[in-house]
Amino acid sequence: MTTAAMTIDVEDYYHVHAFKNVIRRADWPDMKSRVEANTNRLLDLFEKTGTKATFFTLGCVAKDHPGIVQRIVNDGHELASHGWDHWAVFDQDRETFLSDISKAKQTLEDIGGTAVKGYRAASFSIDDRSPWAYDMLAEAGYMYSSSSHPIAHDAYGNPDADRSPGQTASGVIEIPVTTAIIGKRRFPVGGGGFFRLFPLRWFTQAHRKALAEGLTPNFYLHPWEIDPKQPRIKDAPLKSKFRHYVGLSKCESKLTRLLKSATWTRMDEAYYGWLGGTERSDERDSDDLTGRDRGLRCVG
């Protein structure tokens, strides 16, 4: 069976970029959090199916729910960074971004007791508006990023970006979310709202096509996407409501079926050929931050 990367962006339903104009960050502490229960449901599913994954985790979630981080590590998954509080990279300057990713990395490492090598930007927001972000990631000690979604989209993405992994000028490896080419157009087959909207066979067939092209599928999902009972944000725009709520009731069962289509594993194992400085799971002696000896120490 083929190998593919399963990734989870650990954030709550009210963190999403689509709701930024209707839910103030100052109101987040008053929202009912559901991220711990939903993440544990995913961890239970992965344990049952023998799936390993990379969990790109918000620093603010880790601070408030350290048990999630500890279980991710204890269950043998890769702990990675999603930044501190889901702030798009292109809405930050260099210094603010460096502070954000450094704080998140340090917090995750302190709680998880393991080196954090990977990063994913909120809303895939490293694009032609923020190419400097890779320099900041290198300075903060990250080895790789999965922050590019090379499609045309009204909120993010770059349809001209590479579809395959590559090393940036700063030395950070960028591993894009998987896309498929049909005719002359690129289509999203990497997960998220597209996974909830389109039939499962669309993704399994597209992943096989990607493998035939020499690409390892890179799939993503959020804990709130398996939670149809989450509170509804009534004041959100209709487009945002559709994108956020479509297919929630069937997502968990669809994910369970998807897990049978490949051997799903961590980013650092699925892309071991690119991330040569990352040890395979069967070569790791311990999770005691020995990776920092390879230049992974967090700034500050």
Q: Domains (ranges, CATH) in the chain?
A: 3-294 (3.20.20.370)
d(CA 264, CA 128): 30
On average, the pLDDT of the chain sits at 90
Q: What burial letters (b/e) apply to 240-273, b meaning 16+ CB within 10 Å?
A: bbebbbeebeebbebbeebbebbebbbbbbbbbe
pLDDT at res. 282? 44
Q: Does the CA dihedral 132-133-139-143 come out positive or negative?
A: negative
Provide mean pLDDT across the span 236-251.
Answer: 95
The average pLDDT across 95-112 equals: 98
What's the N-to-C CA distance of the chain in angstroms? Answer: 43
Which region among 140-144, 176-180, 182-186 has the lowest average model confidence (pLDDT)?
Answer: 182-186
Nearest to 125 by CA among 156, 98, 99, 168: 156
pLDDT at 182 over 90: no
pLDDT at 157: 65
Specify whether the CB–CB gap between 54 and 269 falls below 8 A: no
